[in-house]
Amino acid sequence: MKKFFTLMALFAITASSQAGDIANGKKIYKKINCTMCHNANGSGKASDVSKIRMTKGPKIAGLDAAYVAEQVIAVQSKKRKTKNTAMMYAKVKKLSKKEIADVAAYVASLGPKYKGMFQK
């Protein structure tokens, strides 16, 4: 039982040390203009057919922070390349790991958490 509590404490410390700062993430989100493609609330513009847009980012609000950070790092390292990631690369290329974690925490705070990839 003692091992269980030790492991739980270690997990809690690790998880909290990797958590991002939501307030700072909001500032960075605005500063690098994520709103251009993902809207201020993270709702995305991919489904906005009312106007012709060159920037049609997907909905990101409420995505898991670890997943968001993983995707930003993949764009930053050029492991993820699509027709839309070139613009994103220009915005995220100089972000530190801490800044990415902060933005990811902010994005995760924007909406309900996704339980599955195809949840509506």
The predicted model scores a pTM of 0.73
Say whether 65 sits in a helix, a strand or coil. helix
Provide the b/e sequence for 38-72 (b: ≥16 CB within 10 Å): bbeebbbbeeeeeeeeeeebebbbbbebeebbebb
* Listed range (5-14, 43-52, 66-75, 76-85) with the worst mean pLDDT: 5-14
Q: Which CATH architecture has domain 20-109?
A: Orthogonal Bundle (1.10)
Q: pLDDT by residue (tens digit) across 5-39? A: 444 544 444 444 458 999 999 999 999 999 999 99
Q: How far apart are CA 7 and CA 1, in angstroms?
A: 10
Q: How far apart are CA 26 and CA 31, in angstroms?
A: 9
Structure tokens at 11: 């997990």
